Amino acid sequence: MTITAPTVAVPGASSPGRSTRAYSRAAGIFYLLTFASSIPALALLAPVLNDAGYVTGAGQDTRVLWGCLLDTVNALTAVGSAVAVYPLVKRVNGSLALGFVTSRLIEAAVVMIGVVTLLAVVTMRQDLAGSGADAASVTVTANALVSVRDWTFLFGPGLMPVFNALLFGTLLHRSRLVPRLIPTVGLIGAPLLLAAFVANLFGGFAQVSTASLLLTLPIAAWELSVGIWMTFKGFRPDAVAALEARDAS
Burial of 29 (0-12, 13-18, 19+ CB in 10 A): middle
pTM comes to 0.88
Residues recorded for the chain: 249
Closest C-alpha among 211, 207, 213, 161 to residue 187: 161
Rounded Cα gap, residues 23 and 74, in angstroms: 19
Closest C-alpha among 226, 229, 228, 206 to residue 218: 226
Q: What is the pLDDT of residue 130?
A: 59
Domain residue spans of the chain: 19-241
Q: For residue range 218-236, what is the model confidence (pLDDT) as tens digits? A: 999 999 999 999 999 999 9
pLDDT by residue for the chain (249 residues), tens only, comes to 444 444 433 333 345 567 788 999 999 999 999 989 999 999 999 999 999 989 888 879 999 999 999 999 999 999 999 999 999 999 999 999 999 999 999 999 999 999 999 999 999 998 875 566 677 888 999 999 999 999 999 999 999 999 999 999 999 999 999 999 999 999 999 999 999 999 999 999 888 888 999 999 999 999 999 999 999 999 999 999 888 888 777
